[in-house]
Amino acid sequence: MREGRIRSMLEEDIPAIMQLEKECFPVPWTEDMFRCQIMLGDVSANLVYAEDDAITGYVVSWFGVEELHILSIGVKPERRGRGIAENLMDEAIRRSMKNRCKKVILEVRRSNSRARKFYQKLGFRHIGVRKKYYSENAEDALVLEKDIEIST
C-alpha cells in the first residue's frame, strides 16, 4: 500500500505538477504561475501530496483578509476517491488558521459535478456565480464558501 505525506510545494516539483495539471484540467496553469505561487509562500499554502516520492496531488491557496482562497486543487485521476484532496484541503485550512482565516472560498466549474459533490461533502455552500469566468469556453464558475471551525 502506498503511503502519502503532505509537504510544501517546491520549485523542483513543477515538472511533476505540470504533468498532473495536464491530466486534470482542460486549460492547465503554466510553470510560471506555479513559480509565482511558490514565491508567495508567506501568504499562501501551496502543498503537494507525495506517495513513494511521486506527486499525486496538490493544492494552491492564498491567505486573504480572514479568508483562505483555494485557487487550484488537483489529484491524479487514478488516485481520486482515496482522501488525497480532503487531506490537502484540511492541511491548507490548518495552515490558514495561523493567519486568522475564518472561511474558505473557491470557484468551481458549473459542469464539474464530481468536484461540486466533493465540496458539498466538505460542507461548502453556494454563495454566488461568476458569469463567463473560464475564458476558454465562457463557462460560469460557482462560488462556494465554508466557515473554518476553530477547535479549542
Q: Check pLDDT > 50 for residue 1.
A: no
Q: pLDDT digit string (tens) for 17-55?
A: 999 999 998 889 999 999 999 998 788 899 999 998 899
Provide the number of structural domains found in the chain: 1
Alpha carbon distance 77, 57 (integer Å): 10
Asked if residue 83 is part of any domain, the answer here is yes
CATH of the domain at 112: 3.40.630.30
Asked if residue 152 is part of any domain, the answer here is no
The predicted model scores a pTM of: 0.90
Asked if residue 62 is part of any domain, the answer here is yes
Asked if residue 53 is part of any domain, the answer here is yes
**pLDDT-based confidence at 149, cuts 50/70/90?**
confident
Asked if residue 10 is part of any domain, the answer here is yes
Asked if residue 50 is part of any domain, the answer here is yes
Asked if residue 41 is part of any domain, the answer here is yes
Domain that holds residue 121: 4-147
Radius of gyration of the chain (CA): 15
Asked if residue 66 is part of any domain, the answer here is yes
